[in-house]
Structure 1
Amino acid sequence: MNFASTALLALAMSTDAFAAAVGKGTALQKPKWSEALRTGAIFGVIEAITPVIGWGLGLAAADYVKTWDHWIAFVLLLVLGGRMVWVAARKPAEAEAEKPRRHGFWLLAATGFATSIDAMAVGVGLAFLNVSILPVAAAIGVATFVMVALGVMVGRVLGDVVGRWAEAIGGILLIGIGSVILYEHLTALT
């Protein structure tokens, strides 16, 4: 793969993580750059590892990964997003000041994994093309790191604008991302 194809692939793989990060940023109380960079690092590392795993699976698991990747991503994002909407609906207006300053590692890792399943499928495809996976995975990880850090800070601004409904909007974003992943796969089959 040439530089331009690698850069475009990396950008494409990071866009759903960016949208999820906006949701994560809205659910926090005025996130700082340190939290944005931490979130970006978690997502970036996961997004860099998953295409390597997919590439390693190669031909043996290609049909399985391609068959189920969209369903796995959809269910994970539906559950995470649904939880965010449910928590926001139960929260009284005065609880807005009690927003967390940071998300737990496992919540971020689960969201990062859910948004990176497509990168695993891409890794499987790259194995068929005999592409050197490490530079591509590194590019995907760096692009995701940057996009997620920026997404958290965009979410900070949106959180100020939308007030107590920020977490619900973040959850709806995650559900939307999962639905788009599922829709794109199902419509590609027809």
Structure 2
Amino acid sequence: MSTWALFIIAVGLSMDAFAVAICKGLSVKRAGIKHCAVTGLYFGGFQGLMPLLGYFLGVQFESLITSVDHWIAFVLLGAIGVNMIRESRSCAECEQLDGSFGPRAMLPLAVATSIDALAVGVTFAFLQVDIVPAVCFIGGITFILSAVGVKVGNIFGARFKSRAELLGGAVLVLMGAKILLEHLGILGA
């Protein structure tokens, strides 16, 4: 997988975390560097950890499904993307968040925003992606975008939340289609 494709997937995966970070920024009167760093560490850390776990799960089953791995990548990325697009139409998420940045508040959010990355990690196993740089890249991109999201939410409000999820979902659907079309020989690698 090219660095550019990995970057696009990392940005697409981080859009859920970015959207929730915007909501966390809305939940405090003044978002400081500590709020941004805590959010970035939780979301970036879990966004890096989950594909690693998914990768190890995928490696266990790789030999059984090599002939259909491109279809699995297409279905997983497409389903994640469609779900993100569907969630971008919902407005209820921000109202449910409180202003806490402690482990009780952040841990469930970090897990919830990174579940999609677990499935992408399974896909990475089938595509034989070099996993250590990939998870570091995904975690780093998510850290940056989440930290920025807190500040954006604090300054601008919820205007960008649904657009971020919509964009992230569209990117993942397109990456799934690209993988399938490349494997079928319709699109050059």
Q: Select the residue among 133, 136, 154 that pairs with 1:135.
A: 133
2:3 & 2:22 partners in 1: Cα distance?
Answer: 28
- Residue of structure 2 equivalent to 1:43: 43
Q: Deviations over 1:84-117 (max 9, x none)?
A: 6368xxxxxxxxxxx84x4222321211211111
Q: Is the 8 A contact 2:43 2:143 kept in 1?
A: yes
Write the letter of the residue equivalent to 2:115.
Answer: I
Superposed CA RMSD = 3.9
1:61 & 1:29 partners in 2: Cα distance?
Answer: 48
Question: Equivalent residue of 1:122, what SS?
Answer: helix
- Residue of structure 2 equivalent to 1:96: none
2:120 & 2:96 partners in 1: Cα distance?
Answer: 33
- Residue of structure 2 equivalent to 1:111: 109
Q: For residues 133-172 of structure 1, what are the structure 2 equivalents within 5 Å?
A: 133-159=131-157
1:7 & 1:84 partners in 2: Cα distance?
Answer: 27
Q: For residues 47-58 of structure 1, what are the structure 2 equivalents within 5 Å?
A: 47-58=47-58
2:59 & 2:24 partners in 1: Cα distance?
Answer: 35
Q: Is the 8 A contact 2:23 2:94 kept in 1?
A: no
1:86 & 1:42 partners in 2: Cα distance?
Answer: 19
Q: For residues 81-120 of structure 1, what are the structure 2 equivalents within 5 Å?
A: 85=95, 100=99, 102-120=100-118
1:134 & 1:151 partners in 2: Cα distance?
Answer: 25
2:127 & 2:93 partners in 1: Cα distance?
Answer: 39
2:93 & 2:116 partners in 1: Cα distance?
Answer: 22
Q: Is the 8 A contact 2:52 2:121 kept in 1?
A: yes
Displacement of 1:60: 5.1
- Residue of structure 1 equivalent to 2:182: none
Gap change, CA 1:7 and 1:109, over 3 Å in 2: same
Q: Select the residue among 98, 123, 126 that pairs with 1:125.
A: 123
Q: For residues 55-66 of structure 1, what are the structure 2 equivalents within 5 Å?
A: 55-58=55-58
Displacement of 1:41: 1.0
Gap change, CA 1:127 and 1:83, over 3 Å in 2: closer
1:8 & 1:111 partners in 2: Cα distance?
Answer: 22
Gap change, CA 1:61 and 1:157, over 3 Å in 2: farther
* Deviation larger for 45-54 or 6-15: 6-15
Consecutive unaligned residues of structure 1, counting only runs of 5 or more, are 88-98, 160-165
Number of equivalent positions: 158
